Chain A
C-alpha cells in the first residue's frame, strides 16, 4: 500500500497527489510514468510522473478525472492509501543520457497542454538544474484550467501562456504561440510536447514545417505497463512499437497520431457501460423504458 502524503485540487477535476513511494522516487527520472491502482478491484492505469523527491521518498502525480478509475483515485484523501504504485516505467527522456555541455548549447521549447503540463515540469526542472535554457508554452481552455504556472515560472527561462478564450495570456492555441515565437526570431533546436493527443498531433504538424526536432510523450492504454500485454502498441516510422518499454517518448514526426487516437478509444464504450452500472448502483436504478410510470 502507498500512502497519499498530500492532495490538492489544481483546477476543476484536476488533482495533485504526492505519494509515499521511496523505491520509485529513488529510481525516477524525467519522462517516466507509474502504474497506479486505487483499490483491490481497481484498474491499473498509467500516469506520467509530475515530480519526485528521492530524499523525501515521494512521487507526485497529477490526475484529471475522466473515468471510473481516475475518479476513484481522486476520491482518496491525504493519509489514505493507494493499493499499488509501480514504477518508474518507460524510458527516461533522451536528454538525461546526453552530455550536459551538449545540452547547454541547445535551446529547448517545451509545450504543455492541459493536464499534460504537469509531466513537462520535471523535465524542465531537470534541465534547469543542469544549467540548460528552456522556454515553455502552457496551453489551457481558460484561466481556471491552467495548472503548474507558478512552478514553471521558477524553472523556465521564458514562460508563455495561451488560453482558448484569452482569459489568461494570449488567446489561441499553443501552436500559434510557437509559430509567433519562431517568427519573432527565436531559434529552437528541440521541442517537447505533452498534452492531449490532438494537440501533440498539431504541434508535430507545425514543427515539421520548421524541421524542428520534436518529442512527444504518448499516453497509450496499458494493462501491465511492463512489456507484457501489447495494449500500448503504436505505429512509429511505420513500425509497431510498445509505448511502455520503448516509449513513452517518441519522435513526433514519425508517430501515427490518427491510429494512436483511435486506439485510445478502444474501451470507451465498455468504460461508459461500467460507469453507468456503478452510478446506478450508487443512486439506485432509474428505469429508462418507463416501466416505473
Chain B
C-alpha cells in the first residue's frame, strides 16, 4: 500500500543567491528522499503515466525497483527506453505528461516522477561501469544521424544498441544541440550532466563528427551515395529565430533568445575566460512566454540586469513549464502579462532605449484552444530598457530541405514526415523540431526513437 505522505520537497538553491550565479537551481533528491518519494506511488494496474510519456518509460517499474533499494535495476529499466534520464528528469514538462496524469494528482500532489528519474539518471552517471547497456553485435549497416540534439541522440543510441554503425554529424563545435546552446547551465549542467550522458551514448559505439553542417559541408545525398550510409535520420532541430516585424527590431540591443542564449550557454560569454561578448545593459525586456523566454530572462537576471517578461496572453496561458515560471518569480523576474510590443524605441546612435507596448485582453479561443488576445483601445505605454530579447519561436532552417532533391516540406517549411519518421525520400527519416517546429526535448527524443524503429524495419526489409 502506498505511503500517504505529502510529496517530498526538493532542495533548491536560495533564490536570492542563485539569481547571481549559474549553478544548478535544483539540488535534486538524495537516495533517502528519492526512496521516500517512491513509496508514494500507487503502482497502478493501468499506469496512466506510462501512456503520457512520449518514450513510454516504465515508470511504476523503475519506481518500485528504487523503492526496494535496487537503484541499479531501476537504472536498467529506464535505460531500455531512454538514454538521457538525467536530462529528461530536469527538463521534461512533467506536469503535462507523466505527473499530469498521475492518479495522486487528482486530489493531492502527483508523484515527483521527474525528480525520481533525475536521481536514478544521476546515480547511473556515477556508476556507469556497473550498468553497461546491452549492445547487439555489429550488423554491418551504417546510419548517419544529422544533429546531436535530443532526437539525434535518442535515434543514435537505439540503433547502436541494435547493432548499427552510427555516425552523428553536428554542425557546432560542441555536442548536444539545444541541450548545450539553448538550455542554461542553471537548469541543465553541461559538463556534469550533458557531456557525461552523451559519453554514455558514445560508449554504445556511436561516432560523433563535429563542425559538419549537413546541407553545406556534406549533403543528404552525398552521405547516402558517396559516404556509404544505408539510411539517414535528420534531427537538425529548429531554425531561424522569429521576429515580430515591428518598427525598430534591427536596432542595436535587439537580439533573438537564440542569440542571447547561445552566447551565454554555448560560448560561455558570462565567463571572463571566454572571448565571446554579450550585452545585457541595465534593463532587459524578454518578449514571449515559453521555456526559452524563461531561460533568457533568468540568464539576463544572472548577468545583473533588471529583467522583465512581456507576454501577450495571461499567466494561465504561459507555455513554459510551471516550475520555470515559479523559479523565475522567486528570482525576482517581473512579469508583464497581457502586454504586446508594437515598436522598439531607439536613440540617435541606433541603440535601444525602450519598447512601446499595448495592453491586451483575452477574447475568443483560437485554433490552439487558447483565448486569443485582443488589443485594448488607447492603452499604449512605454517601458524603458537597453536590451530587448525576442523569444517568439523559430521557423525551419532551410539548409537541408533546399539541398535535398525530393525532400518534401510543409507550407511552413518543416520537413514532412510520418508519425514513424519516414520522409518523402526512401531511406531518409526525420524527427524532432525539424519536423514539428519548436517543441520539447522529450517529444524530440520520442520522435528519434520512433524513427530508429522505422529505420531498423526499412533496412531489414531491404536485405
Interface positions of A (Cβ within 8 A of B): 23-24, 27, 37, 41-44, 68-69, 72, 83-89, 223-224, 226-231, 233, 235, 240, 242, 245, 259, 262-263, 265-267, 270-271, 273-274, 277
**In chain B between 199 and 247, which residues have their CB closer than 8 angstroms to a CB of chain A?**
210-213, 216-218, 239-241, 243, 245
Nearest-CB residue, chain A, relative to B238:
A228
Find chain A residues with CB under 8 A from B266 CB: 223-224
Find chain A residues with CB under 8 A from B274 CB: 41, 43
**In chain B between 172 and 195, which residues have their CB closer than 8 angstroms to a CB of chain A?**
172-173, 181
Q: Closest CB-CB distance, A135 to chain B, in whole Å?
A: 31
A274 to B276, alpha carbons, bound, how many Å?
9
Docked-complex contact A86 and B268, CB < 8 angstroms: no
Cβ 8 A contact of A43, one of B211, B253, B275, B349: B275
Secondary structure of the A side of the interface?
mixed
Q: A223 and B217 in contact (CB under 8 A), knowing A41-B273, A230-B240, A230-B258?
A: no
Scoring B173, B274, B349 by chain A CB atoms within 10 A of each residue's CB, the highest score goes to B173
Q: A87 and B267 in contact (CB under 8 A), knowing A41-B274, A44-B173, A262-B252?
A: no
Docked-complex contact A84 and B173, CB < 8 angstroms: yes
Contact with A along B367-395 (1 / 0, CB 8 A): 00000000000000000000000000000
Q: List 27 A-B contacts (CB under 8 A).
A: A23-B217, A27-B218, A68-B275, A72-B275, A84-B211, A86-B171, A86-B211, A86-B213, A86-B217, A223-B259, A223-B262, A223-B263, A224-B262, A226-B172, A226-B399, A227-B398, A228-B240, A229-B258, A259-B350, A262-B349, A263-B250, A265-B252, A267-B277, A267-B279, A270-B278, A271-B277, A274-B272
Q: A226 and B397 in contact (CB under 8 A), knowing A41-B268, A259-B250, A259-B350?
A: yes
- Does B255 have its Cβ within 8 Å of any Cβ on chain A? yes
Q: Closest CB-CB distance, B352 to chain A, in whole Å?
A: 11
Find chain A residues with CB under 8 A from B397 CB: 226-228, 245
Docked-complex contact B267 and A43, CB < 8 angstroms: yes
Docked-complex contact B399 and A223, CB < 8 angstroms: no
Q: Closest CB-CB distance, B369 to chain A, in whole Å?
A: 29
Docked-complex contact B217 and A226, CB < 8 angstroms: no
Docked-complex contact A37 and B252, CB < 8 angstroms: no
Find chain B residues with CB under 8 A from A274 CB: 272, 275, 277
- Does B33 have its Cβ within 8 Å of any Cβ on chain A? no
Q: A227 and B240 in contact (CB under 8 A), knowing A68-B275, A86-B217?
A: yes
Total interface residues in chain B, CB < 8 Å: 42
- Does B361 have its Cβ within 8 Å of any Cβ on chain A? no
Interface positions of B (Cβ within 8 A of A): 171-173, 181, 210-213, 216-218, 239-241, 243, 245, 249-250, 252-253, 255-256, 258-259, 262-263, 266-268, 272-279, 349-350, 397-399
Nearest-CB residue, chain B, relative to A278:
B275
Q: Closest CB-CB distance, A27 to chain B, in whole Å?
A: 6
Known: A230-B255, A263-B252; 19 extra A-B contacts, CB below 8 A, are A24-B217, A41-B268, A42-B275, A43-B277, A72-B275, A86-B173, A223-B259, A223-B263, A223-B267, A226-B171, A226-B399, A228-B262, A231-B259, A245-B240, A245-B397, A266-B252, A270-B278, A270-B279, A271-B277
Find chain A residues with CB under 8 A from B216 CB: 27, 87-89, 226
Docked-complex contact B259 and A230, CB < 8 angstroms: yes
A266 to B251, alpha carbons, bound, how many Å?
9
Q: A83 and B241 in contact (CB under 8 A), knowing A41-B275, A223-B259, A267-B277?
A: no
Cβ 8 A contact of A27, one of B172, B217, B239, B262: B217
Nearest-CB residue, chain B, relative to A264:
B252
